[in-house]
A = this chain, B = another copy of it.
Amino acid sequence: MEKINGGVTAPSGFLAAGVNVGIKNTEKDDMAMVYSTVPARAAGVFTTNLVKAAPVKWDQKLVRESPFLQAVIINSGIANAATGEEGMRCCIETARAAGEALGIPETAVAVASTGVIGKQLPMEKLTAGAKALKETLGTGREKAREAAVAIMTTDTKPKETALTVTIGGKKVTIGGMCKGSGMIHPNMCTMLCFITTDAAVSGEMLQKALSLNVQETFNMISVDGDTSTNDTVLVFANGLAGNPEIMAEGEDYALFCEALLSVMRELARMIAGDGEGCTCLFTGRVIGAADKAQAKTIARSVICSSLTKAAIFGHDANVGRILCAMGYSGADFDPDVVDITLESSAGSLRVVENGVPTDYDEEKATEILSREEVIAVMDLKAGNEEAEAWGCDLTYDYVRINGDYRS
């Protein structure tokens, strides 16, 4: 498995583009398209929020009913959620416009939206955007980046990754892009994430690998505890790598699943590390757990704690808050044996031993907490299971961004 510099256009046969159609009245591109030159198997996971955006409903239907998909068209600025029947009409019209431009059926075109809830889409702009996107589709590094930028809302940087792995004697490539960065507390998946691969894999095994990996990646991040109405992760696999099609579990499936996990893990960490207003990626790592579920529950609880997140922002080793968040997580453990160690590129410091804070050096702690990624390692001393969850600090800018989002 080798990491490469690239995004959604890295695998063979995938084109991408971004354009500005003026949904947000800024100069940033606000529509993107990813297109496979041949029909691709597709799998998806979607928000569990009862209030689902129109494109989420559309994509759920496609993934269930269409044997192949070939494109996804995305807009940022408006979420097309809480928009009733008119919103669903707009969504289908967008798929149709893209299908017409690309010469493929509308039922091969997934749709995704992100932005403000409760506003209707400016339909003429989206129709024009579909045509413009078709005209500028291309392969190569720059085109992947263009699409990754176009789907951003409050994200401060585009989020892309790619890798290659040899499966069945063939070089398989997987690429992906995603966007955050508020309303991030995925439950089944996160805001928007699109993964492309030239692997040959059946729809069933693709969905299986995706659903499994989501539990360890996008379901383990949180920016603000709010589960979006639009969360969508879509994977397209067009088979152009020429490996023997993965139809069942086995060595090839395991290799593919691990590579997909690596891509999803990296994208998930990028979302957490670029949470709205945040200054650092905050990783909660539970070790020595009796079982995996316990480890995950505690790791998630700690990275979700507003008080812990504010303390991280203040570079304050307020370890009592970490202990507190572990305690209310709902997981059963013995608080009196817990060790906690803070880690970052500035070093490592044991701050809690057997449930009681040590006499640690506050200056050293502050130095550790001042880096771009901060890790709290929590040892439960109850077994050998581990889990990681990713969040970020809580800052003035989070309040600024969300106190004044629509204006």
Is A352 a contact partner of B82 (Cβ separation < 8 A)? yes
* A227 nearest CB neighbor, chain B only: B328
Q: Is A128 interfacial (CB-CB < 8 Å)?
A: no
Per-residue contact bits, chain A 366-399, to B (CB 8 Å; 1 contact, 0 not): 0000000000000000000000000000111011
Compute how far the CA of A403 lies from the CA of B402 in the bound complex, rounded to whole angstroms. 18
The answer on a CB contact under 8 Å between B395 and A307 is no
Contact assessment for B405 and A394 in the assembled complex, using a CB-CB cutoff below 8 Å: no
Known: A84-B354, A352-B82. A403 touches B324 (CB 8 A): no
| Most interface-central of A229, A352, A402 (chain B CB within 10 A) | A402
Q: Which of A47-55, A96-104, A158-166 lies on the face that meets chain B?
A: A47-55
CA distance A93 to B320 in the complex (A): 23
The 4 closest A-B pairs by CB, nearest first: A117-B320, A51-B327, A314-B403, A310-B402
The CA of A356 and the CA of B80, in the complex, are separated in Å by 11
Given contacts A82-B357, A314-B403, A356-B83, whether A224 and B51 have CB atoms under 8 Å apart is: no
Q: Evaluate contact between A320 and B352: CB separation under 8 angstroms.
A: no
The quantity of this chain's copies bound in the complex is 2
Given contacts A324-B183, A402-B314, contact A224 B84 (CB under 8 A): no
Taking residues whose C-beta sits less than 8 angstroms from the other chain, chain A's interface range is: 35 or more
Q: Which of A316, A327, A406 has the most chain B CB atoms closer than 10 A to its own CB?
A: A327
Minimum Cβ distance to chain B for residue A334 (Å) = 9
Query: How far is B313's CA from A399's CA once the two chains are assembled, in angstroms?
Result: 8
Q: Is A347 an interface residue (CB 8 A)?
A: no
Which residues of chain A from 101 to 139 have a CB within 8 Å of any chain B CB?
116-119
Offer 7 A-B interface pairs, CB within 8 angstroms, sorted by A.
A50-B328, A82-B356, A84-B354, A117-B318, A118-B323, A183-B307, A396-B400
User: In the assembled complex, how far is the CB of residue A338 from the closest CB belonging to chain B, in whole angstroms?
Assistant: 9
Name the contact of A324 in the complex, choosing from B49, B305, B333 (C-beta under 8 A). Answer: B49
A227: chain B residues at CB < 8 Å are 324, 327-328
Contacts of A47 in B (CB 8 A): 328
| Complex partner residue of A304 from B225, B323, B327, CB under 8 angstroms | B225
Q: A50-B329, A185-B328 are in contact. List 7 more A-B contacts (CB 8 A).
A: A50-B335, A51-B324, A118-B320, A182-B307, A225-B304, A228-B324, A310-B399
Q: In this complex, what residue of B is CB-closest to A318?
A: B406
A311 to B116, CA, bound (A): 12
Contact of A226 among B306, B319, B354, B398 (CB under 8 A): B306
